[in-house]
Amino acid sequence: MAEYSVLQRRRPAFDADAFEGAVADFEFARARVPFFRREGREQGPARIDGPADWARVPLTRRADYRADFPRGVLARGRTLGEPGTLVQGSGGVGDDRVATAVRAVLLAARRAVTLAAHPPLRDAILGGASGRSARYTAPECSGVECASPYTPMERRTLGDGTLVLPSTPDPLAAPDALLGRAADELRAHAPAWLEADATALAFLLRRLAAAGREAPPVGAIVLTYTPATRVARRRIAEHCGPAVVAEAVTMSEFGWLAVECPRGLTHLNNRSYFVEPLAGGGRPAAPGELAEMVVTSVGDRLSPHIRYRTGDLYRVWDEPCPCGSDLPLCRFEGRSGTLLTVPGRPAPIGARDVDRAVGDCPELDVYQVSQHREDEVRVEYVPNVKDTRALEDGLVERLRALLGERVRLTASAVRYLPAGPDGRLRPCVSDLPVRPLDQERPA
């Protein structure tokens, strides 16, 4: 345990109890899950006596779970038809897509631990009178194959009672009739809380307001799927009144990983999982260093995930938060294709920094910053004013201060910004991938 105490001082996300739980999940997987018993697969050390041994356990990826689902990644004797088992699909496309089987009770426990960082949100969700929830995002991100807008409500209701509201593959192109239907279903379902893509929800609220309709009341709104921009959050705050609004990081494979606290800072759940922010060569990241999050389940006896590469990039710190939560502070930076790499900057620029530069900008409805070459960045935006000269000059000035003078920065007003193939409009995209874990370890 002395070794663990040293690690807890050096690695802000390390938790000794979670580590012991991860080792137990690993031993269970080696004994009971076919994928981990496969002949020819690297097995790692025969015995785990500490973190040094753990570092030799092979990493796993989405492709491993996708190729072997379900038989190869379920524990021997388990089936998808067992009561309380949910099958969830990820919101990605191509190699990012994966299906996961998980116990509903385990998801609920993980969510409760994460919510401890935001007591008002926890009370609204766990203490809501109806106990029901709703989800609003593109069908590709909804977690159900039946999320067509033309299916009845009962076919879009998940096993845990969550209603998936009707949407289209591009929520920002949804017709007004469908938006009205989503609002009507939300009002009829009367959920305690709504889980939504911030940009899609802001668009829905704009169209409702334009039609003279009020937003259906909900106790809490959890913003997830894509980073919530200040532009979107301003619109949501304007129309959703007293609702508790906070951003969370969730994954179909695990459920809730992190949540915003009442101070607006994000806290990582390092109790329900063993989390490893890893940088170049697989080394543990220093506090504040950009790293890929590797996650191991704790207590999963259905389909344990062992040293699973999420593909998500974080920074984790060891400072205490003024809110009083003892969950470590972190910042979710997105995925490898959502950070900007520009000349003269020692580290990539994340969507959070870009959004801070853009600001809440009342003259804007939505924006996207894109990079196709290292020295070229473009910002496209949908304005809600006719004269965009002052708006555009301000955007360019603030982004120039962030990106530096060695980047060719262009800006243009557009009438519409299309979502990506997965139905999400990310505020920041780049063709220059950032993969800190795949970089070589410094000499």
d(CA 311, CA 95): 11
Please answer whether residues 369 and 376 qualify as being in contact, where contact means their C-beta atoms are separated by less than 8 angstroms.
no
Residue 133 in tokens:
């929830």
Q: Is the pTM of this model over 0.85?
A: yes
- Taken in order of first residue, the domains within the chain and their CATH numbers are 2-128+219-334 (3.40.50.12780), 339-433 (3.30.300.30)
Residue 218 in tokens:
């909900």
Kindly report, residue by residue over 151-186, the tens digit of the pLDDT.
888 888 887 788 999 998 898 999 999 999 999 999
Residue 225 in tokens:
């799927």
Q: What pLDDT sits at residue 12?
A: 72
Mean predicted confidence (pLDDT) in 310-323: 95
The single-letter code of the amino acid at 363 is: E
Q: What is the mean pLDDT of the chain?
A: 91
Give kind and range of the element (H or E) at residue 329.
strand 329-335
Q: What pLDDT sits at residue 89?
A: 77
Residues 6 or more apart whose Cβ sits within 8 Å of residue 123 = none
Counting every residue written for the chain, the total comes to 443
Q: Is residue 249 pLDDT above 90, yes or no?
A: yes
364-373 and 428-430 beta bridge pairing: parallel
Q: What pLDDT sits at residue 161?
A: 85
Q: Select the highest-mean-pLDDT range: 67-76, 135-144, 291-300, 334-343.
A: 291-300
Residue 360: count other Cβ atoms within 10 Å of its Cβ: 14
Give kind and range of the element (H or E) at residue 314.
strand 308-316
Where does the pLDDT of residue 346 fall: very low under 50, low under 70, confident under 90, or very high at 90 and above? confident
308-316 and 255-260 beta bridge pairing: unpaired
Q: Is residue 8 pLDDT above 80, yes or no?
A: no
Q: Which residues of 292-326 are buried (b: 16+ CB within 10 A; e: fewer)?
A: bbbbbbbbbbbbbbbbbbbbbbbbbbbeebebebe
Q: What is the DSSP letter of 161?
A: S
Q: How far is CA 296 from the centre of its chain?
A: 17
d(CA 20, CA 152): 45
d(CA 363, CA 209): 16
41, 92, 149, 155, 301 from 139: Cα distances, Å: 36, 11, 8, 13, 29
The single-letter code of the amino acid at 166 is: P
Three-state DSSP state, 271: coil
Q: What pLDDT sits at residue 6?
A: 40
* CA-based nearest residue to 355, from 232, 196, 262: 232
